[in-house]
Every structure is written in C-alpha cells, then in structure tokens.
Amino acid sequence: MNVRVIEHENWPAYRRPAGLTWQMDQSRRVIYENPDAEAQADWKAGQILQMMRRHQVAHRAVCEVGVLSQPIVEKLQAKMGGECEVWGHEVPIQDLELNDCRADPVLHAFLNQIAGRHPSAFDAFLILDVMEHIENYHGFLRAIRPMAACKILHLPMDLTVQTVMRRNALKRRRDVFLHISYFTKDTIMRALKDTGYEVVDSFYTPWRIQFCRELTGKLMKLPRKMLFALSPDTAVRFLGGYGLLILAR
C-alpha cells in the first residue's frame, strides 16, 4: 500500500499574530477525538470515487490535501488498489487560526515541495474540507491550478437560512471547527468561475444526515431528508446539513 502523508509546519501561509497562541479547548477536541473518524473517512472516500468514476477521471496518481489526512488517504488507497498512488499532505490544524494566502512565497514553497516529490502532474488533486479554513480562498484556488488537470473539492454548506437566523450557529463553527469562510453552492461556484475553473459536476453529500450525534442534528434529520427529496437546493439553502462535492478543471 503506497500511503504517504507529509506534514508541513507552515502550510499554506497560515499565520497567527504575535502573542496569539492556539489552545485545544475541550470543545475543539471533537476534531481529533471523533469516534466516527474512520467511518467518515471511508464514507468520504466512497463519495470521491463515485465522482471520479462518473467522469472516468484517471487516478494513477492522486494528491489529497486536508486536515487529518491519513485516514482518508488510507481508505482511498485501499479502494483504488495498488496501481494508484495516493499522496496525502497534512494541514496542521493548530496553524489554521488565521491566514493570508497573499503571502505567496510560503504558499508556493509548499506547493513546490509537493511538485518536487512528484515531478509529473497529478491526475487529480483533492481539497477536502479545507476551503472553510482559508481566508483568501481565491488566492489559494489560483495557486493550486497547475497541480493537476482535475480538482475535487469538498466543503460544508455552512451558510443557510437556519444558521443565519440562529444567533450562535456560525459562531460555533468558528469556535469549535475553526471555520472562517462560509459558503453556499452559489458562492463557491462563483469563486471557482472567478479563478478560472470550469465546474464539470457537483453533488450534495449528506454528512450530517449520516454522522450527526447532536440532539438538534438528530431532530433535523427527518425534515432535511424530506425537503431534500422534494428540492435538494431548497433543502440545503434553508436547513443545511449537507456538504458539496465538486469536480472542476
């Protein structure tokens, strides 16, 4: 099994102001101590393979960039088989507090490190649940364009009617999950268009339907599923609970 997970201390230009220290308070431990981590990695790998097979995306060499990268890399490698090499580049979550991808030298040094380890371009470059941690995601999207012909992104649809109406919903995503950018389907699609990408396909992923352990999430499961069956876009826009998987070139 060709599993490679590469850690880097400064990826990509994530910087904290002097004197600001990162502390893993009890609420943030859910990121590291998630009892569903293995099941979520297996589920996410299945979603990615579904997209790749739908469009016959070559997968001889695949690079995944994400938080807690190793489980998803291992699941992808197991599902893709020995003829595929899956490379994982770990984003240290303690450096995701504040960032500015305008610090191009640091970002490009990281991308050059990936390119140096794999001289030819990847068939697919996976950006999984990273965009919500990036302040200048337009600069990031432009910087990664040369890495592969196909990009697959996964990100949560945090910005919904119900999260806007609930006073602390988005604040909790910032405090607990370190999200600093919030998306709808329309905003991420426009960001990709503005940075020169062509969106080939996308579909919603029911991650909170599958894995939510909180009482509010469990209570919302049935309304979300019922409305989604009638109108997926309306369900996600109003009630949330879904992520978005995008294939772009």
Mean pLDDT (the chain, rounded): 79
User: How do residues 180-238 score in pLDDT, each as one tens digit?
Assistant: 899 999 999 999 999 999 999 999 999 888 887 777 778 889 999 999 999 999 999 99
User: Percent of the chain beyond pLDDT 70?
Assistant: 76
Cα distance between residue 111 and residue 214, in whole Å: 37
Beta strand 85-90 with 61-66 is parallel
Closest CA to 41 of 95, 79, 89: 79
CB-side neighbour CA atoms (13 Å) of 113: 19
pLDDT digits (tens, 9 = 90+) for 14-69: 333 333 334 444 444 555 556 677 888 899 999 999 999 999 998 888 998 877 67
Residue 12 near residue 92, CB atoms below 8 Å? no
Query: What is the rounded distance in angstroms from the CA atom of residue 40 to the CA atom of residue 81?
Result: 20
Candidates 177, 179, 195; CA nearest to 187 is: 195
Query: By the 8 A CB rule, do 118 and 111 touch?
Result: no
**So what's the pLDDT on residue 174?**
83
pLDDT, position 143: 84
The answer to whether 126 and 45 have CB atoms below 8 angstroms apart is no
Which one, of 76, 58, 69, 211, lies nearest residue 127 by Cα?
Answer: 69
Residue 166 to residue 9: CA distance in whole angstroms: 36
Q: Check: CB of residue 144 under 8 Å from CB of residue 227.
A: no
Domains along the chain?
A: 3-213+242-248 (3.40.50.150)
Strand order from edge to edge, sheet including 148-156: 3-7, 85-90, 61-66, 122-128, 148-156, 243-248, 199-205
Rounded to 5 degrees, what are φ and ψ at 173? Answer: -65, -35
Contacts of 23 (CB under 8 A, 6+ apart): none
Cα–Cα distance, 98 to 15 (Å, whole number): 6
Percentage of the chain modeled with pLDDT above 90: 39
**The model scores a pTM over 0.95:** no
Give the number of C-alpha atoms closer than 13 A to the C-alpha of residue 83, restricted to the C-beta side: 3
Q: Among residues 139, 106, 115, which one has the least CA distance to residue 15? A: 106
Amino acid 31: pLDDT: 52
